A and B are shown apart, each in its own frame.
Chain A
Amino acid sequence: MASENLTASSYIQHHLQNLTYGQHPDGTWGIAHGAEEAAAMGFWAIHLDTMLFSIGLGILFLWLFRKAAKKVSVDTPSGLQNFVELMVEFVDQSVKETFHGKNKVIAPLALTIFVWVFLMNTMDLVPVDFLPHLASLLGVPYFRVVPTTDLNATLGMSISVFILIIYYSIKVKGVSGFVGELTLQPFGKWMIPFNLLLEGVGLLAKPVSLALRLFGNLYAGELIFILIAILPWGIQWALSVPWAIFHILVIVLQAFIFMMLTIVYLSMAHEDH
């Protein structure tokens, strides 16, 4: 724990606080100390820990895969290449099963989502106090190491996917086709307001559900790790080990679901009804 006289609730709150950099209400720039200060910064603040880990893990992913892709060999694949090929083939298979059109973006997009989200989720398996404690030794007051427990990260991805959905809907069906899809079904042209409400909610629910599903799963997982960490140190392993093993499944599954739903949404955007 960060300090000896911490209560359980403040310990939990401390762990759920991002390292937020922004402008204080009094006009100075700096790190927010506590949730109220972070909230007072409003929209124009940034979570340095989320950005650091998400970009770091993204670069790790691209560095690894690029390394394998640069010396890719047809006849004698090496160890790293085998792993990369496995991932690429798995993603390619998933995309081909779901999406039947021609699109050069979807498969790499799906690969990026899968591996990146998986890596970010994997940070959840690092013991909850390990990196924050190291950071506090370096003078960093707050440090959340799992980017996907930050709603900003998941929403950032799902909104990007949402923009792609709208882009491809308009590209494939045209503006009129897309508008028609939103207004003329399911009840025909005499019920346009109702149709618009229904389809609009359906459309907006896609990115929101995408972001909240991933965020909710990982947030809950992290919270339970934090709760386990409050227990006396001698019995922590009895709970944290089973939970971590179960969490391995959650990590992969959530990454896969995010990828799969992205593919499904984008293939729906390509289809005419």
Chain B
Amino acid sequence: MNINLTLIGQAISFAIFVWFCMKFVWPPVIAALEERSKKIADGLEAANRASRDLELAQEQATKTLRESKEQAAEIIEQANKRANQIIDEAKEQAITDGKRLRDSAQSEIEQDVVRAKEALRSQVSALALIGAEKILGASVDQKAHSEIVEQLAKEL
């Protein structure tokens, strides 16, 4: 086995190959590998974050739903209460109105009664006078007897 110039030739070509590999082969490939692993890590992290966000959103949604349900129930309750109140008020109003109407009607009736009695009384006195005139056959001095007649009418 001879050691000769081939040794140096090999060393030189080896050096050139290593240099070429170092300059043009290794960096792009390793950069791509690193970028891919970074991408994958980012993707996983994003997925994690998304699922966490989803969980939060779901929680928020249930909370909102529960709150709105409570609110709706409250509103319905209030409305019911208000309706009852309005009905009560209306009833009360109706009762008072009716009472007032009845009272005024009654007083009117009473006034009418009084007025009728008055009219009747005056007419009765006149009738009594006419009757007495007829009975007596003579004219009675209205002026002289009006006092009596009046007293009569009052007694009626």
Task: Known contacts A85-B29, A92-B30; decide if A155 and B7 are in contact (CB<8 Å).
Answer: yes
Q: Does B10 contact A (CB under 8 A)?
A: yes
Determine the chain B residues whose CB is within 8 A of the CB of A92 once the complex forms.
30, 33
Within 8 A of B (CB), among A37-65: 38-39, 41-47, 50-51, 54-55, 58, 61-62, 65
Determine the chain A residues whose CB is within 8 A of the CB of B120 once the complex forms.
none
Chain B's nearest CB lies how many Å from the CB of A72?
A: 4
> Smallest CB-CB separation from B24: which chain A residue?
A66
Instruction: Tell me the complex Cα distance, A44–B24, Å.
Output: 33
Q: Are B17 and A61 in contact (CB under 8 A)?
A: yes
Interface string of B23-38 (1 = CB under 8 A from A): 0111011111101100
Q: Are B7 and A159 in contact (CB under 8 A)?
A: yes
Instruction: Tell me the complex Cα distance, A108–B26, Å.
Output: 6
Q: Are B10 and A108 in contact (CB under 8 A)?
A: no
Q: Are B6 and A51 in contact (CB under 8 A)?
A: yes
Among A39, A50, A65, A89, which residue has its beta carbon within 8 angstroms of that of B21? Answer: A65
Q: Does A165 contact B (CB under 8 A)?
A: no
Q: Are B22 and A108 in contact (CB under 8 A)?
A: yes
Q: Are B26 and A46 in contact (CB under 8 A)?
A: no
Within 8 A of B (CB), among A91-131: 92, 104-105, 107-109, 111-112, 116
Task: Known contacts A46-B4, A155-B3, A156-B8; decide if A74 and B25 are in contact (CB<8 Å).
Answer: no
Q: Sort chain A's interface into a size bin.
A: 35 or more
Q: Which of A145-153, A193-201, A237-245, A247-255 contacts B (4 or more CB under 8 A)?
A: A145-153
Q: Are B24 and A160 in contact (CB under 8 A)?
A: no
Chain A's nearest CB lies how many Å from the CB of B115?
A: 111
Q: Are A156 and B25 in contact (CB under 8 A)?
A: no
Q: Does A20 contact B (CB under 8 A)?
A: yes
> Smallest CB-CB separation from A151: which chain B residue?
B1
Within 8 A of A (CB), among B19-60: 20-22, 24-26, 28-33, 35-36, 39
Instruction: Tell me the complex Cα distance, A171–B30, Å.
Output: 26
Chain A's nearest CB lies how many Å from the CB of B149?
A: 132
Q: Does A228 contact B (CB under 8 A)?
A: no
Determine the chain A residues whose CB is within 8 A of the CB of B7 once the complex forms.
152, 155-156, 159
Determine the chain B residues whose CB is within 8 A of the CB of A72 once the complex forms.
28-29, 31-32
> Smallest CB-CB separation from B35: which chain A residue?
A74
Among B10, B21, B24, which residue has its beta carbon within 8 angstroms of that of A152? Answer: B10
Task: Known contacts A46-B9, A74-B39, A105-B18; decide if A152 and B30 are in contact (CB<8 Å).
Answer: no
Task: Known contacts A88-B26, A156-B11; decide if A108 and B18 are in contact (CB<8 Å).
Answer: yes
Instruction: Tell me the complex Cα distance, A150–B3, Å.
Output: 9
Determine the chain B residues whose CB is within 8 A of the CB of A51 once the complex forms.
6, 9-10, 13
Chain B's nearest CB lies how many Å from the CB of A41?
A: 7
> Smallest CB-CB separation from B39: which chain A residue?
A74
Q: Does A22 contact B (CB under 8 A)?
A: yes
Determine the chain A residues whose CB is within 8 A of the CB of B2 once the complex forms.
18, 20, 38-39, 41, 45, 152
Task: Known contacts A104-B22, A112-B21; decide if A152 and B4 are in contact (CB<8 Å).
Answer: yes
Among B4, B11, B26, B30, which residue has its beta carbon within 8 angstroms of that of A47? Answer: B4
Task: Known contacts A55-B13, A88-B26, A112-B17; decide if A156 and B33 are in contact (CB<8 Å).
Answer: no
Q: Are B33 and A88 in contact (CB under 8 A)?
A: yes
Task: Known contacts A156-B10, A157-B11; decide if A58 and B17 are in contact (CB<8 Å).
Answer: yes
Instruction: Tell me the complex Cα distance, A70–B32, Å.
Output: 11
Among A66, A70, A152, which residue has its beta carbon within 8 angstroms of that of B3? Answer: A152
Q: Does A69 contact B (CB under 8 A)?
A: yes
B interface with A by C-beta (< 8 Å): 1-11, 13-15, 17-18, 20-22, 24-26, 28-33, 35-36, 39
